[in-house]
């Protein structure tokens, strides 16, 4: 009866046969051809080893259990694979080279697990799963984010390596292959930002919110210029000239918010009105957060572009000197060093610090308001609310202080060692 | 290319084997007992196999940011185990995890309350008038304040990677904190500032470190010890307690924004904190490549205390390297222990 392992080996044999046949046919078209049965000895040896090691773990019900339960056997199996791959590649290089084939449909580069990602995924998804499993929850996200990031860069590697080779280091040239939006997204991943490709979407959503509010506002004839001004701003955003607009956007946002706020005073008092007012505040705080967030992301993006150019320049010089194309990992390491340098320069300025401070304030304010709305919505239900526990915490703090004051006064009149000694004396 | 391929397959093989063998990522394994506690705060005494060679015990005051387990991440590179091995008797304050109920807990509560009670407890337990105090990072700042207010209870003071001068020129954290609206942040987070919020700030100090760390993962995973150390560090980094809002507010305002400690303007429990009142021997340890608490924020301590017996000790590494790693074991920890033993 055929086992799973037999099926695996049979499949691999078919691939090998196909490769051998193709190579033979191609070689046959040239003078000399390949020797008959080329590579057969490697194949036979490999099959033998495969069977031997797979038999040792055949009783396991699935691959993961096999990995977990038989690490030693798996290691031996992988070693056999390695040995075979080595011989295969040597054989391939030696024979096809003779007939002028460099990469006839089979690229060593593509199967060579050249990158981190290939190591993590193509070679053994099990490794990735088990590393992730052993990481704390918050760190798992970081690893997965990094995986996406790496994938994005490897996606563009073919172009980037050509740019290095041909000295295409200016953004006019780079941008034809790596679009600014795609690059913005990659840089955003380094920083843990929301994907920057959604910028347009965010602006559109924000625009809709504003248009609704502007309509409401216009009913009261406060400022008729705003809709036009707003429209210009959003167009500037979408046409890729956002920097000049951020401050104006913030001002408009604040003005509309304060203007609308007055109408809530007219609406009377009560829980519903208060909830409505906080919801309105959340809306405007969120818009402000998006504007500031975009401004900060834009600053990061601006300094990150020269970092890529600089990396390509450095590697191009090396390429010119030794005519050897760099490995992807060499590029990646060089790039993140350059990018970090540029970012730290930016972050070391008062402008960035102010913007970051404002952003963190907006984020915290947003959270505070949302908590408040939740609490108000749940008022009257049998849940312990934050504001109630706040009172308990205040009471506790006051008690803690009074006790400490008493203890300090006590310790000043009675040194701890003197107390200990007097207790010892009394006992004896 | 084939060599590359083979290397990578071998790396994968090793990773498979090591990951299969990992059952638990254990940290803080040095044996200890809880000898005093008050609410969430616990005082640990680390258990020795032999009597200590120094009669004065050492109380370690760690920062409120992150957890003390960093000093005992792995048995063979543990700062605490090494101090024990060098003959010291070690106590440590575990601040616990701040939650909503702690939102009004102040620096006075931590310093005049918890540290003071722990010092008194140890004095009583050992029938000593004074003990040694060793502060780590923010815990070092707390130790300085305590030593200035209660100099009669501290025999020797060791500060490690401790910020004292908070001028904005000292680094990114110092600059950023100047522009932070701490009131809005404390209120917005409901009085308890999450550890993740703080960690995101620390991450930005070296924004590409995560990429470097994960990029190096295949190599790390091919060695079981390296892989375990990597996972231990990840566990420690992720275990980041929230901050009691009032303490956080005070620390940002009075220290980072107004630099009150070094200016002699800080008030604690109604008393001015005068660093000149620190007259006991002081050892100031700083890390040459510290990007969190740079030497420029630590070294000025040397000039503002009243001690005649004072020493600066430079560690050739970064903020965490002071407590983790081979150089700490070989160079720093024995030097700290010897300094204390010489003054026992």
Q: What is the ipTM of this complex?
A: 0.88
Residue B243 and residue B65 in contact, taking contact as beta carbons nearer than 8 Å? yes
Tell me which residue range forms the domain holding A279: 196-377
Burial class, A406, CB count within 10 angstroms (exposed 0-12 / middle 13-18 / buried 19+): exposed
pLDDT of residue A325: 79
In terms of domains, do A22 and A108 share one?
yes
Distances from the Cα of A241 to the Cαs of A198, A245, A249, A302, in angstroms?
A: 16, 8, 13, 12
pLDDT of residue A169: 86
Verify whether the Cβ–Cβ distance B124 to A419 is below 8 Å: yes
In terms of domains, do A309 and A409 share one?
no
Q: Residue B9 is encoded by which pair of tokens?
A: 């397959």
pLDDT of residue A205: 58
Task: Label the pairing between strands B271-272 and B267-268.
Answer: antiparallel
* Closest chain A CA to residue B206: A340
Verify whether the Cβ–Cβ distance B9 to A360 is below 8 Å: no
* CA gap A417, A209 in Å, rounded: 69
In terms of domains, do A402 and A306 share one?
no
- The residue among A335, A360, A377 that closes a domain is A377
Tell me which residue range forms the domain holding B11: 2-342
In terms of domains, do A321 and A272 share one?
yes
In CATH, what number is assigned to the domain containing residue B141? Answer: 3.40.50.1820
Chain A residues whose beta carbon lies within 8 Å of the beta carbon of residue B190:
367-368, 371, 386
From B16, B125, B188, residue closest to A365, measured CB to CB: B188
Is A103 within a domain? yes
Residue B163 and residue B169 in contact, taking contact as beta carbons nearer than 8 Å? no
Residue A313's nearest CA partner among A419, A138, A168, A190 is: A168
pLDDT of residue B1: 38
Residue B87 and residue B337 in contact, taking contact as beta carbons nearer than 8 Å? yes
pLDDT of residue A99: 45
Verify whether the Cβ–Cβ distance B117 to A333 is below 8 Å: no
Burial class, B87, CB count within 10 angstroms (exposed 0-12 / middle 13-18 / buried 19+): middle
Is A185 within a domain? no
Number of domains making up chain A: 3
pLDDT of residue A134: 75
In terms of domains, do A337 and A201 share one?
yes
Q: Where do the H-state alpha helices sit in A167-245?
A: 171-177, 180-191, 199-219, 226-238
Verify whether the Cβ–Cβ distance A112 to B1 is below 8 Å: yes
Closest CA of chain B from A191, distance in Å: 7
Chain A residues whose beta carbon lies within 8 Å of the beta carbon of residue B99:
none
Is A129 within a domain? no
Residue A83's nearest CA partner among B10, B218, B221 is: B10
- The residue among A57, A89, A112 that closes a domain is A112
Length in residues, chain B: 344
Chain B residues whose beta carbon lies within 8 Å of the beta carbon of residue A103:
none
Is A10 within a domain? yes
Indicate the helix (H) or strand (E) that contains B34. strand B32-38
B118 is catalytic: no
From B2, B22, B184, residue closest to A364, measured CB to CB: B184
Number of domains making up chain B: 1
pLDDT of residue A220: 43
Catalytic residue among B137, B154, B193, B221: B137
Chain B residues whose beta carbon lies within 8 Å of the beta carbon of residue A331:
none
Task: Label the pairing between strands B41-46 and B90-94.
Answer: antiparallel
Verify whether the Cβ–Cβ distance B179 to A417 is below 8 Å: no
In terms of domains, do A309 and A410 share one?
no
Helices B224-238 and A137-166 pack at an angle, to 10 degrees, of: 120
Residues 6+ apart with CB under 8 A from A117: A147, A150, A151, A154
pLDDT of residue A70: 55
Is A168 within a domain? no
In terms of domains, do A360 and A232 share one?
yes
* Closest chain B CA to residue A355: B179
Q: Where do the H-state alpha helices sit in A220-267?
A: 226-238, 246-266
In terms of domains, do A209 and A354 share one?
yes
pLDDT (tens place) for every residue of chain B, 344 residues total: 345 555 666 666 677 667 777 778 889 999 999 999 999 999 999 999 999 999 999 999 999 999 999 999 999 999 999 999 999 999 999 999 999 999 999 999 999 999 999 999 999 999 999 999 999 999 999 999 999 999 999 999 999 999 999 999 889 999 999 999 999 999 999 999 999 899 989 999 999 998 898 888 878 887 888 888 888 999 999 899 999 999 999 999 999 999 999 999 999 999 999 999 999 999 999 999 999 999 999 999 999 999 999 999 999 999 999 999 889 999 899 999 999 999 99
In terms of domains, do A360 and A393 share one?
no
Task: Label the pairing between strands B41-46 and B32-38.
Answer: antiparallel
In terms of domains, do A312 and A411 share one?
no
pLDDT of residue A105: 32
Is A85 within a domain? yes
- Chain pair A-B, CB pairs under 8 angstroms: 240
Closest CA of chain B from A344, distance in Å: 8
In terms of domains, do A354 and A419 share one?
no
Closest CA of chain A from B338, distance in Å: 26
From B2, B15, B215, residue closest to A127, measured CB to CB: B15
The segments of chain A whose pLDDT lies below 50 read: 1, 4-5, 15, 23, 26-36, 63-64, 67, 96-114, 196-198, 217, 220-224, 420-428
Q: Which residues of A341-367 are buried (b: 16+ CB within 10 A; e: fewer)?
A: ebbbebbeeeebbebbbbbbbbbbbbb
Chain A residues whose beta carbon lies within 8 Å of the beta carbon of residue B172:
344, 347-348
Residue A224 and residue A218 in contact, taking contact as beta carbons nearer than 8 Å? yes
Is A191 within a domain? no
Chain A residues whose beta carbon lies within 8 Å of the beta carbon of residue B116:
407-408, 411
Verify whether the Cβ–Cβ distance B20 to A68 is below 8 Å: yes
Torsion angles phi and psi, residue B93, rounded to 5: -95, 125
Is A122 within a domain? no
């Amino acid at each position: 009866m055929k086992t799973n392992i037999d099926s695996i080996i049979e499949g691999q044999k078919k691939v090998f046969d196909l490769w051998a046949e193709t190579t033979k046919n191609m070689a046959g078209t040239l003078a000399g051809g390949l020797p008959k049965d080329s590579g057969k000895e490697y194949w036979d040896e490999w099959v033998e080893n495969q069977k031997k090691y797979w038999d040792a773990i055949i009783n396991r019900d699935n691959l993961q259990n096999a990995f977990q339960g038989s690490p030693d056997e798996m290691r031996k199996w992988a070693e056999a694979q390695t040995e075979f791959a080595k011989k295969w590649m040597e054989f391939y290089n030696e024979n096809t080279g003779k007939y002028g084939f460099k990469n006839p449909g089979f690229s060593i580069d593509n199967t060579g697990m050249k990158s981190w990602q290939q190591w993590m995924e193509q070679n053994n998804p099990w490794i990735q799963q088990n590393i992730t499993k052993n990481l704390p929850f918050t760190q798992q996200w970081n690893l997965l984010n990094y995986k996406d990031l790496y994938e994005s860069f490897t996606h563009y590697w073919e172009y980037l390596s050509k740019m290095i080779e041909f000295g295409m280091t200016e953004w006019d040239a780079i941008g034809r292959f790596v679009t600014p939006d795609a690059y913005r997204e990659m840089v955003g991943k380094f920083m843990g930002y929301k994907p920057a490709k959604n910028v347009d979407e965010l602006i559109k959503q924000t625009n809709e919110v504003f248009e609704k509010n502007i309509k409401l506002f216009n009913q009261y004839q406060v400022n008729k210029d705003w809709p036009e001004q707003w429209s210009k701003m959003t167009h500037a955003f979408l046409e890729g000239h956002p920097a000049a607009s951020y401050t104006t956007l913030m001002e408009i946002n604040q003005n509309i918010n304060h203007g609308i706020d007055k109408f809530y005073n007219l609406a009377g008092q009560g829980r519903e009105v208060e909830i409505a007012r906080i919801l309105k505040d959340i809306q405007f705080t969120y818009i402000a957060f998006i504007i500031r967030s975009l401004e900060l992301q834009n600053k990061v993006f601006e300094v990150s572009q020269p970092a890529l150019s600089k990396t390509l320049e450095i590697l191009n010089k090396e390429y010119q000197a030794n005519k050897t194309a760099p490995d992807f990992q060499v590029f990646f390491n060089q790039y993140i060093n350059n990018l970090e340098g540029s970012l730290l320069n930016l972050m070391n300025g008062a402008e960035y610090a102010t913007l970051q401070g404002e952003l963190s304030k907006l984020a915290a304010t947003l959270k505070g308001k949302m908590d408040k709305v939740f609490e108000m919505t749940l008022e009257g239900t049998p849940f312990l609310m934050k504001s109630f526990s706040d009172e308990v915490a205040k009471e506790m703090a006051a008690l803690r202080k009074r006790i400490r004051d008493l203890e300090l006064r006590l310790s000043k009149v009675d040194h701890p060692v003197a107390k200990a000694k007097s207790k010892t004396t009394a006992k004896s | 290319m084939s060599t590359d391929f083979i290397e990578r397959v071998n790396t994968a093989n090793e990773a498979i084997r090591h990951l299969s063998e990992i059952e638990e990522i254990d940290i803080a394994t040095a044996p200890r007992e809880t000898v005093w506690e008050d609410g969430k705060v616990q005082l640990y005494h680390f258990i020795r196999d032999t009597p200590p060679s120094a009669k004065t015990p050492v109380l370690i005051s760690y920062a409120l940011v992150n957890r003390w387990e960093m000093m005992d991440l792995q048995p063979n590179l543990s700062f605490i185990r090494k101090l024990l091995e060098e003959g010291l008797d070690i106590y440590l304050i575990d601040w616990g995890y701040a939650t909503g109920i702690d939102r009004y807990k102040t620096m006075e509560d931590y310093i005049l309350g918890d540290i003071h009670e722990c010092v008194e407890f140890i004095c009583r337990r050992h029938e000593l008038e004074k003990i040694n105090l060793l502060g780590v990072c923010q815990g070092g700042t707390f130790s300085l304040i305590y030593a200035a207010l209660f100099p009669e209870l501290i025999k020797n003071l060791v500060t490690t990677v401790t910020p004292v001068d908070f001028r904005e020129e000292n680094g990114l954290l110092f600059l950023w904190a100047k522009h932070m609206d701490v009131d809005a942040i404390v209120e917005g987070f409901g009085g308890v500032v999450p550890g993740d919020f703080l960690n995101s700030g620390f991450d930005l100090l070296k924004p590409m470190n995560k990429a470097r760390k994960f990029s190096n993962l295949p190599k790390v995973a091919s060695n079981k010890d390296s892989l375990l150390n990597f996972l231990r560090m990840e566990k420690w980094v992720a275990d980041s307690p929230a901050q009691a809002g009032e303490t956080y507010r005070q620390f940002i305002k009075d220290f980072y924004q107004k630099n009150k400690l070094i200016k002699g303007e800080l008030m604690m429990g109604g008393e001015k904190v005068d660093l000149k009142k620190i007259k006991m021997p002081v050892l100031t340890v700083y890390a040459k490549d510290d990007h969190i608490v740079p030497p420029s924020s630590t070294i000025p301590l040397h000039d503002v205390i009243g001690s005649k017996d004072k020493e600066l000790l430079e560690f050739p590494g970064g903020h965490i390297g002071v407590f983790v790693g081979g150089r700490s074991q070989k160079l720093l920890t024995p030097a700290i222990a010897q300094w204390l033993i010489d003054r026992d």
